[in-house]
A and B are shown apart, each in its own frame.
Chain A
């Protein structure tokens, strides 16, 4: 074991190997957070669309979920990064590949451009949206049917029922599965290393290649992943408690 290697000066970036790991963590979190915004927004819309009394909306939403769920994430990553610039008008594609700004100016300077980052975020976000949509749908469908009827009966419109009755309950119910979806995005963000995003896993491998201290490099990255996972789980438990409705047993609680 030689943990001091992490404090040695790395060959690039003007930082130590520990700095590389920190930079990797920064990009892992940046990709995950941006992708989560897309996943949550698109997933909510698609999930709600799967429950509305409008056949065309339901069909489109189902098609979305099936399409994104049945193609491996890594293949989707390649479709966004390699294939998309080739099938859109040539000028646009060239702009994506060549003219997107390099990220060297940002903190934790990276040797990849905004296009790699964007492709990774789009891919992870839209892929996870299909999973979030399923959670939203099952959350809505787990509510008693009488709730919607009761809302309509007091004169609310259907969108108002969703806004004030259905969704507030459904989102509370799905906090635990949404936590695991966020952790899934966080872990899946390592797939972005295949298109050159130097996130945490990529950095730990790079350190192992430069220093041959594979065990130390992998252990350090693994510990960081565990620490973040635990932080998220505790934070979400706290959130779950704060928004809990008295007298209504959340699905995650008890046994």
Chain B
């Protein structure tokens, strides 16, 4: 067994930190975009209008049937093409980070739409009825009555999915974006200290995700009591 040399982690602290910032940025944008578009997708799937519900269901089921990496490849390929078609510019106008962001938002919106759809369906029918009976329209009953309750019910599941999303950001490694894992990998190639760097990455991910999962469990227990 080879000797460990952990000083390499300290030596590359800035590159690793930059990588972590890239991971966090991707995480935050994908989370916000995923919840926003996921909500729209869920509403579309629940719509009585087939022209809306069928394509939405098709998109969600398609994304969920293929590997995350395959979806990243798809959007990495499609995004620059579609953008250049609309703007007339060449593909280089869209950087790899933007393509990765689009891929993550698309995949996460499909996953989140399933969570949010279940959340909306968990609200008793009488609630939108009561809203309608008071003269509210569809949008008002969703915004003020149904969605706030659905999000409250779904909060633990949505946060658990956020922890999974944070782990999944490491998959951008496949398009050579320098996220946390990518930065560690690069430093490992430069120094030959791959063992220390990958172990360090594993420990950091574990601590962050374990703490977050634990907090979600606490929150879940508290919500269960207050109900």
Touch between A and B in complex, CB under 8 Å? yes
A72 and B68 CA atoms in complex are apart in Å by: 13
- Given A201-B69, A225-B65, the answer on whether A82 and B194 have CB atoms closer than 8 Å is yes
Does B199 sit at the interface, judged by CB under 8 A? yes
Does A222 sit at the interface, judged by CB under 8 A? yes
Interface-located stretch among A97-105, A140-148, A183-191? A183-191
Does A149 sit at the interface, judged by CB under 8 A? no
A190 and B72 CA atoms in complex are apart in Å by: 12
Interface-located stretch among A43-51, A73-81, A234-242, A243-251? A73-81
In the complex, chain B residues whose CB is within 8 Å of the CB of A225: 65-67, 70
Chain A interface mostly:
helix
Does B1 sit at the interface, judged by CB under 8 A? yes
> How big is chain B's contact interface, by range?
20 to 34
Pair count A-B, CB < 8 A:
104
Q: Is the CB of A74 within 8 A of B202?
A: no
Bits for B60-81, please: 1 = Cβ < 8 Å to A, else 0.
Answer: 0010011111100110010000
Interface-located stretch among A13-21, A87-95, A153-161? A87-95
A66 and B181 CA atoms in complex are apart in Å by: 20
Residue from B70, B171, B198 within 8 A of A79 (CB atoms): B198
Interface-located stretch among B7-15, B85-93, B149-157, B203-211? B203-211
A38 to chain B, nearest CB (A): 19
Across the interface, name the chain B residue whose C-beta is closest to A180: B64
Does B168 sit at the interface, judged by CB under 8 A? yes
Q: Is the CB of B70 within 8 A of A72?
A: no
Does A70 sit at the interface, judged by CB under 8 A? yes
A215 and B173 CA atoms in complex are apart in Å by: 22
Does A193 sit at the interface, judged by CB under 8 A? yes
Residue from A69, A79, A204, A218 within 8 A of B202 (CB atoms): A79
Does B190 sit at the interface, judged by CB under 8 A? no
Does A175 sit at the interface, judged by CB under 8 A? no
Chain B interface mostly:
helix
Q: Is the CB of A72 within 8 A of B170?
A: yes
Residue from B68, B198, B205 within 8 A of A83 (CB atoms): B198
A225 to chain B, nearest CB (A): 5
A27 and B110 CA atoms in complex are apart in Å by: 27
Bits for B176-191, please: 1 = Cβ < 8 Å to A, else 0.
Answer: 0000010001000000
- Given A82-B194, A83-B199, the answer on whether A229 and B69 have CB atoms closer than 8 Å is no
In the complex, chain A residues whose CB is within 8 Å of the CB of B206: 67, 70-71
In the complex, chain A residues whose CB is within 8 Å of the CB of B181: 72, 74-75, 78
A97 to chain B, nearest CB (A): 13
Does B167 sit at the interface, judged by CB under 8 A? yes
A83 to chain B, nearest CB (A): 5
Does A214 sit at the interface, judged by CB under 8 A? yes
Q: Is the CB of A75 within 8 A of B66?
A: no
Contacts of A113-150 to chain B: CB distance below 8 A? none
Does A221 sit at the interface, judged by CB under 8 A? yes
Does A58 sit at the interface, judged by CB under 8 A? no
A156 and B140 CA atoms in complex are apart in Å by: 59
Does A226 sit at the interface, judged by CB under 8 A? yes
In the complex, chain A residues whose CB is within 8 Å of the CB of B1: 86-90
Q: Is the CB of A86 within 8 A of B195?
A: yes
Q: Is the CB of A75 within 8 A of B198?
A: yes
In the complex, chain A residues whose CB is within 8 Å of the CB of B201: 75
| 21 pairs, CB–CB < 8 Å, chain A vs chain B | A66-B210, A71-B167, A71-B206, A72-B170, A74-B170, A74-B171, A78-B185, A79-B198, A82-B194, A83-B198, A86-B1, A86-B2, A87-B1, A87-B2, A87-B195, A188-B67, A190-B67, A191-B171, A218-B77, A222-B74, A225-B66
> Can you list the 7 inter-chain pairs with the closest CB atoms, starting with the nearest?
A190-B67, A70-B209, A72-B167, A187-B67, A72-B170, A229-B65, A190-B69
Known: A71-B205, A72-B167, A226-B62. 5 other contacts (CB 8 A): A67-B206, A75-B202, A86-B194, A187-B66, A191-B67
